Structure 1
């Protein structure tokens, strides 16, 4: 959701629709999309050629919709990505739960433990004044009374985090998303009298829906508070995160990197690397700890239990895996995330409808693809409607990446599927 869904391409704008040379059977995975924005399109998921769709939530109106779609169409384990034969009722959804920066003003931060700093007091006897106080604090300029009245009563961040925790615990494969920062977005203007009766009932409420934009932005400090809280939850539960960033690449890097401060990997110089004997054991702290029962058994001369080793995840204040979706930063910004000291596994996904939508985006796309490591690149549609259009735009961006990388289509689809599998599930 890097741009308004109303502006996304439709099928009549598409060019090549020939699928004869495309290896759909190898598993095409959409790392970021919004099918619940158009619930009528969910019925078309079963007929899609794409193997997996990562369905984002963004606001109050779509959290439970993503749950319902995942209940009907959600994959259950890693093997779903390896199945090539057509199933009668294919399961294709990986759910994501998060609060998008476009809607971050609708939350008030009550998680600091100091109620005096909160922008909203729900226990007050003067809630309209509290509501005005909150929106005055988190929005740029000074929103007028009519605009404030059109906005929902603020929701406590603590309640949303608790709800998200329950959703994640009920969906073991789910990730945090869509979350992030956006300096460019302006809130849509209030509905004018009579307009809501004419709105498209096929669209999930809460979005822009063609309204003019107001002059109001969500202040960056508030956006970073909402983002940080959600990334910390992802880190605690060991879930991946899908992150939005528009015209805020420096602030976004500072916000994310602040969470992993003190957890950076040790960067061994080339000189030290040469001093280490070839084939020497790696006793780095990043390796997984051995099972304590097996260690005890070996000490006592017993055979360790013959069972698969379960990698132990230690909660951290940052997600173990992060995808910067429809990445629009510079190659230099990308390299910051690729520094060997970064302790999170970083991925970068690309879409036709965002990365190739403008001449500027199109011109820097080849450099970004070349800079991105082969095993850290993903593809996405970022579309708000499931079906043939999603299939088409995923095929389109995959072909363009393969051309730049010098991959055959078979090699590219396989690589991209393997990257997606690691992003969702972690290392095998």
Structure 2
């Protein structure tokens, strides 16, 4: 386990994506000890209020993020007049007796669907209540399968001028199409917000293509997800130094700082950037924490140029 740097250094580190409200409980002692800033994601109906409460209690440490993870998007009904059974029949469209039997076995463990209008209204209210809030976690996931024991849209983010944390698993082409359609639909408004591809697993070639096309798309990496594949080293090498962020993607707030710092150290090693041992505002701005902090500020502020440009490493 890597040793953490001084508190003065850690105070300038941002965990761009984590899930602290997924843990069974979050103690006030843990939050008081938290040494970094975190972007706390919501994922489903039950944790929207939990993220809101966490941000209200710790406004100096928590950037709240409101949205529905793709793993829970099947619980949202576009139509508000459908019964639970009709909603899931229309969604999954069983084409055989076997499919229908499987759906019937799933139904008792599935929650009643929530009308999309209600979801959008709640997300909008939460985003408007917190000027620093982001849309997240949202995205696409073609690998997800609904288990038997399980107890929005970028357009809303553009309309409200809010940044996005985007999930993409085995949906690379669909994600590229989403980015292209969002840029085409919203024009200059699209460049006013930032979008973070969280725990990104794209190939270096695909990521460089994104950098060429979009000046407002950033990448964040986590050891818990990305270190499973050596591809993340090549991805860090290929990434514009101005576009990279770090995250823990963790649900235990006691470990968010440790996990995020591990990725800070990995980025520093791959990019051959110095690691600060103490913090000075006027210090070495080619060192890793200074660079990542500047990237976060750039991400947070948005208003990107319409023509992307690659920075020097």
Give the direction of change, closer, same or farther, for the CA distance of 1:104–1:128 in structure 2 (3 Å limit). Answer: closer
Runs of 4 or more, structure 1, over 6 Å off, are none
SS in 2 for 1:95: strand
2:22 counterpart residue number = 37
CA–CA distance in 2 between the matches of 1:263 and 1:252? 16
Q: 1:70 to 1:232 in 2, by over 3 A?
A: same
Could you tell me which residue of structure 2 aligns to residue 235 of structure 1? 158
- 2:30 is aligned with 1:163: no
Q: In structure 2, what is the equivalent of residue 106 of structure 1? A: 75
1:338 to 211, 226, 237: 211
1:401 and 2:267 matched: yes
Summarize the Cα distance change of 1:231–1:41 in structure 2 as closer, same or farther, 3 Å threshold.
Answer: same
2:205 matches 1:354:
no
Q: 1:42 to 1:331 in 2, by over 3 A?
A: farther
In proportion to residue count, which structure has more helix?
2
> Residue 261 of structure 1 aligns to a residue in which SS?
helix
- 1:24 matches 2:48: no
Q: Which has the larger radius of gyration?
A: 1
C-alpha displacement at 1:155, in angstroms?
1.0
- Per-residue Cα deviation, 1:199-232 (whole angstroms, up to 9, x for no partner): xxxxxxx5xxxxxxxxxxxxxxxxxxxx5xx200
The alignment's TM-score, normalised by the length of structure 1, stands at: 0.63
Equivalent residue in structure 1 for 2:239, among 358, 372, 375: 372
Note the C-alpha offset of 1:138.
9.6
Q: Secondary structure at the match of 2:178?
A: helix
Deviations 1:143-165 (A, max 9, x none): 43121122111111111001111
Tell whether the 8 Å contact from 2:196 to 2:218 is kept in structure 1 after alignment: yes
How far apart are the structure 2 equivalents of 1:94 and 1:138?
A: 41
Q: 1:19 to 1:186 in 2, by over 3 A?
A: same
Cα pair distance change 1:98/1:318, threshold 3 Å: farther
SS at match of 1:353: helix
> Can you list the C-alpha shifts for 1:180-217, whole angstroms capped at 9, x where unaligned?
011112112137xxxxxxxxxxxxxx5xxxxxxxxxxx
Question: Corresponding residue for 1:134?
Answer: 90
Please state how far the C-alpha of 1:129 moved relative to its aligned partner. 4.3
- 1:70 match: 55
Alpha-carbon distance in structure 1 between the residues aligned to 2:178 and 2:51:
27
How far the C-alpha of 1:128 sits from its partner, in A, is: 5.1
Taking a change above 3 Å as real, the CA distance of residues 407 and 58 of structure 1, as seen in their structure-2 partners, is: same
Q: In structure 1, what is the Cα distance between the partners aligned to 2:162 and 2:303?
A: 13
Distance 1:328 1:261, change over 3 A: same
CA RMSD of aligned residues (A): 2.5
> What is the alpha-carbon distance in structure 2 between the residues aligned to residue 181 and residue 318 of structure 1?
21
2:310 — aligned with what?
none
Q: From 282, 286, 291, give the equivalent of 1:415.
A: 291
Residue 214 of structure 1 aligns with which residue?
A: none
Cα distance in structure 1, aligned partners of 2:52 and 2:94: 29
Match of 1:55? 40
Q: CA deviation at 1:133?
A: 2.5
Rounded Cα–Cα distance in structure 2 between residues aligned with 1:234 and 1:29: 21
Matches within 5 A, 1:6-17: 15-16=1-2
Taking structure 1 as reference, are residues 27 and 130 closer, same or farther at Cα in structure 2, changes over 3 Å only?
Answer: same
Give the corresponding residue for 1:180.
139
Alpha carbons of 1:371 and 1:139: their partners in 2 closer, same or farther (altered >3 Å)?
farther
TM-score scaled by length of structure 2: 0.85
